[in-house]
């Protein structure tokens, strides 16, 4: 079925200069001078929050002392994909090592009520055709994704050697044995020829540094460590019946919170939603997978779908006649643009004109979403607080069938903490807002993860030392320094999966898979060629960084206009070499010429077979 454009207000209905001014006021209200430092890691008296595992008991085991070929640090989707590609390349002597009790990463830890993937599951779940699996609905439930991760691990025999409930402490390159020495909280001494850093992006929960947070005597937990013992119910059956006599507050209204809030609203005696910035929340439309559609799919359909999503969402462009296979809120702007340009007979537009038209569509879509709030929320003041005033993609766009309606329940109160730049204070018994104290039994933090904070803080390893004790944390203190975003000079035989300096795909798992493939290729090549060491030369790395910078698409102006979040490093700024202010961008540098150009560059590099730009040492 053809995907239709959405019904958005006409541009004449929006006063763009006034709206721009409003967006800036809303942004400035929320920018905090401490930037990332406004958050704290859940350590010390919150240690159980992070170190503990509410899902599975940690079993005692003997410490290991061993030599292996590859240690894959992480068993989330990036570690899983690295493991799959190592297996596919014929490398077997490796282990995934993870703090969690199983494969799954975020899908292992996050079991809060209502957890679902916000991305089209037919793209997000990797290798569907190869695995012979089809998600049961467009936006899959968390438990289904977790189970799928387990089935991939089983299929590729990753369980055999996986080491769980093991937290990496230090990583040091030992030149005398030309291996990485890895120490863990379980007393292990693992000597690996290669290490793959698959340690994730959303793995370390963060807490807001609210004055008095440590004083609170009631129950507190982070959504990534949901405590069903306390709330009642389970992830599969989120009937939170133990909250029936409890006053509960939840901090945050991001992707996590909006999924949990409808369940909390349904079950708490009273729920306070402490919101600093509203999310934009569209209709969900999450139909079960249509068996007829499934039967109609031709081999290669998933790759085609991922490609289509990438065009519409990241390349911001659907060509004449190109279908919108994803057909949801992620692709709306491109879909609407395509329909309008088609109606105009595809006029020739300069890049500037195209960008202007897209920006107008952005204002129109955001206005549609604000009107949606008005139409669903009864109380006008609450509705106004729930309206998002920023550009689309300043924050992660969301969809939910019941979130906004939850604010019509008599036991749910929205507390708008924008004016105080966050929750004002906590006391022994609750929280304070504009001079008033609110008593609570429980405070839940849906306050996100360490995504763009300083590397040491967000990775949590005590040390990562390459040649001659060189610290990766110090080397990367002012930005990533890599070749292809996957290896670093001074850090032999070490590989990185994630967002560093390379091609960016709108499907994270596609990106992890391609990176896993490239890394496994290099490792296999090194093992077959009896190379003890592979490492980018300083020159090759410098040339790559130069190339990345020269070809970069500058999105700093857009980011500076955005409300603060991890998307723009909480608005923290640097001054560049030309004296221009720009956002300190720590989420990763994206390859300007695009995903396909990047993939071709890597394919050519492998095809050439000479490990160009690499220093090697024979075994």
Q: Which residue of 150, 166, 199, 277 would you call a contact of ligand NDP, by CB under 6 A?
A: 277
HEC secondary structure over 334-369 = HHHHHHHHHHCCCCCCCHHHHHHHHHHHHHHHHHHH
Least Cβ distance, residue 382 to ligand NDP (angstroms): 16
The per-residue b/e assignment along 593-604, b for 16 or more CB within 10 angstroms, e otherwise, is ebbeebbebbee
Applying the rule CB under 6 A, the residues between 441 and 460 that interact with ligand NDP are 446-449
Least Cβ distance, residue 130 to ligand NDP (angstroms): 23
As a whole number of angstroms, the distance between CA 97 and CA 75 comes to: 6
Q: If binding is defined by CB under 6 A, does position 255 make contact with ligand NDP?
A: yes
Q: If binding is defined by CB under 6 A, does position 111 make contact with ligand NDP?
A: no
Report the residue number, 137 or 616, with the smaller CB distance to ligand NDP: 137
# residues contacting ligand NDP (CB under 6 A): 28
The span of 83-91, 143-151, 185-193, 417-425 binding ligand NDP (CB under 6 A) equals: 417-425
HEC secondary structure over 171-202 = EEEECCCCEEEEEECCCCEEEEEEEEECCCCC
Report the residue number, 257 or 519, with the smaller CB distance to ligand NDP: 257
Report the residue number, 36 or 334, with the smaller CB distance to ligand NDP: 36
Report the residue number, 310 or 518, with the smaller CB distance to ligand NDP: 310
Q: Which residues pair with 174 in a beta bridge?
A: 179
Report the residue number, 147 or 339, with the smaller CB distance to ligand NDP: 147
Applying the rule CB under 6 A, the residues between 537 and 596 that interact with ligand NDP are 565-566
3-state secondary structure of 320: coil
Other beta carbons less than 10 A from residue 481's beta carbon: 20
The structure tokens 């012979």 sit at: 132
Q: Which residue of 105, 422, 513, 571 would you call a contact of ligand NDP, by CB under 6 A?
A: 422
Q: If binding is defined by CB under 6 A, does position 252 make contact with ligand NDP?
A: yes
Report the residue number, 105 or 490, with the smaller CB distance to ligand NDP: 105
Task: Determine the straight-line distance between the first and last CA of the chain, rounded to whole angstroms.
Answer: 58
As a whole number of angstroms, the distance between CA 315 and CA 330 comes to: 12
Q: Which residues pair with 71 in a beta bridge?
A: 95, 195
Q: Which residue of 71, 81, 168, 257 would you call a contact of ligand NDP, by CB under 6 A?
A: 257
Report the residue number, 117 or 526, with the smaller CB distance to ligand NDP: 117
Q: If binding is defined by CB under 6 A, does position 276 make contact with ligand NDP?
A: yes
Least Cβ distance, residue 126 to ligand NDP (angstroms): 15
Applying the rule CB under 6 A, the residues between 479 and 538 that interact with ligand NDP are none
- Could you list the beta-strand ranges (E) of 175-295: 179-184, 189-197, 207-208, 219-222, 247-251, 270-275, 281-282
Report the residue number, 156 or 226, with the smaller CB distance to ligand NDP: 226
Applying the rule CB under 6 A, the residues between 312 and 331 that interact with ligand NDP are none
Q: If binding is defined by CB under 6 A, does position 251 make contact with ligand NDP?
A: yes
Report the residue number, 94 or 309, with the smaller CB distance to ligand NDP: 309
Torsion angles phi and psi, residue 326, rounded to 5: -80, -45
Which residue from 302, 319, 291 is spatially nearest to 120, judged by alpha carbons? 302
Q: If binding is defined by CB under 6 A, does position 274 make contact with ligand NDP?
A: yes
Q: Which residue of 36, 166, 253, 568 would you call a contact of ligand NDP, by CB under 6 A?
A: 253
Q: If binding is defined by CB under 6 A, does position 30 make contact with ligand NDP?
A: yes
Q: If binding is defined by CB under 6 A, does position 117 make contact with ligand NDP?
A: yes
As a whole number of angstroms, the distance between CA 174 and CA 17 comes to: 59
In whole angstroms, how far apart are CA 510 and each of 72, 127, 144, 235, 515?
18, 9, 19, 27, 9
Q: Which residues pair with 464 in a beta bridge?
A: 171
Least Cβ distance, residue 375 to ligand NDP (angstroms): 23
Using CB under 6 A, list all residues that contact ligand NDP: 30, 116-119, 202, 208, 210, 251-257, 274, 276-277, 396, 417, 422-423, 446-449, 565-566
């Amino acid at each position: 079925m053809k995907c239709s454009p959405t019904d958005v207000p006409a541009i004449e209905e929006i006063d763009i200069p006034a709206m721009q001014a409003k967006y800036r006021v809303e942004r400035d209200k929320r920018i905090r001078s401490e930037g990332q430092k406004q958050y704290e890691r859940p350590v010390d008296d919150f240690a159980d929050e992070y170190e503990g595992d509410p899902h599975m008991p940690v079993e005692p085991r003997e410490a290991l002392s061993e030599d292996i070929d590859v240690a894959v640090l992480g068993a989330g989707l990036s570690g899983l994909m690295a493991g799959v590609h190592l297996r596919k390349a014929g490398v077997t002597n490796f282990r995934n090592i993870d703090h969690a009790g199983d494969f799954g990463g975020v899908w292992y830890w996050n079991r809060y009520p209502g957890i679902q993937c916000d991305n089209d599951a037919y793209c997000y779940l990797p290798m569907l055709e190869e695995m012979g699996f089809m998600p049961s609905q467009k936006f899959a439930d968390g438990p289904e994704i977790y189970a799928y991760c387990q089935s991939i691990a089983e299929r590729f025999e990753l369980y055999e050697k996986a080491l769980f409930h093991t937290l990496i402490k230090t990583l040091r390159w030992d030149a005398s044995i030309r291996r990485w020495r890895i120490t863990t909280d379980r007393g292990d001494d693992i000597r690996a020829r290669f290490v793959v850093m698959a340690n994730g992006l959303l793995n370390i929960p963060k807490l807001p540094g609210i004055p008095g947070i440590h004083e609170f005597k009631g129950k507190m937990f982070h959504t990534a460590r949901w405590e069903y013992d306390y709330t009642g119910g389970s992830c599969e059956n989120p009937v939170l019946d133990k909250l029936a006599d409890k006053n509960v507050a939840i901090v945050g209204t991001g992707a996590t919170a909006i999924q949990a809030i409808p369940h909390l609203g349904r079950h708490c005696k009273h729920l306070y939603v402490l919101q600093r910035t509203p999310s934009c929340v569209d209709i969900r439309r999450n139909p079960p997978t249509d068996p007829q559609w499934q039967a109609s799919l031709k081999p290669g359909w998933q790759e085609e779908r991922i490609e289509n999503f990438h065009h519409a969402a990241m390349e911001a462009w659907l060509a004449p006649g190109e279908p919108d296979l994803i057909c949801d809120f992620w692709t709306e702007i491109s879909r609407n643009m395509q329909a309008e340009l088609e109606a105009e007979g595809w006029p020739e537009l300069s890049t500037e004109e195209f960008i202007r038209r897209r920006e107008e569509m952005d204002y129109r879509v955001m206005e549609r979403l604000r009107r949606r709030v008005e139409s669903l929320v009864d109380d006008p003041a609450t509705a106004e607080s729930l309206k998002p005033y920023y550009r689309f993609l300043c924050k992660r766009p969301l969809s939910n069938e019941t979130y906004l309606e939850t604010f019509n329940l008599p036991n749910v109160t929205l507390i708008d903490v924008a004016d105080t730049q966050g929750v004002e204070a906590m006391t022994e018994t609750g929280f304070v807002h504009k001079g008033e104290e609110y008593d609570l039994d429980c405070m839940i933090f849906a306050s996100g993860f360490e995504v763009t904070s300083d590397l040491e803080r967000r990775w949590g390893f005590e040390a990562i030392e390459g040649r001659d004790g060189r610290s990766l944390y110090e080397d990367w203190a002012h930005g990533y320094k890599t070749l292809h975003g996957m290896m670093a000079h001074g850090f032999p035989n070490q590989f990185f999966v994630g967002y560093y300096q390379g091609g960016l795909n709108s499907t994270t798992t596609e990106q992890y898979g391609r990176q896993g493939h490239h890394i496994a290729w290099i490792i296999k090549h090194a093992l077959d060629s009896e190379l003890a060491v592979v490492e980018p030369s300083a020159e090759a790395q410098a040339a790559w960084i130069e190339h990345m910078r020269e070809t970069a698409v500058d999105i700093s102006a857009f980011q500076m206009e955005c409300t603060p979040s991890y998307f723009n490093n909480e608005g923290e700024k640097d001054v560049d070499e030309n004296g221009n202010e720009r956002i300190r961008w720590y989420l990763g540098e994206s390859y300007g010429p695009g995903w396909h150009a990047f993939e071709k560059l890597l394919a050519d590099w492998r095809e050439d077979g000479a490990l160009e730009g690499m220093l090697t040492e024979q075994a």
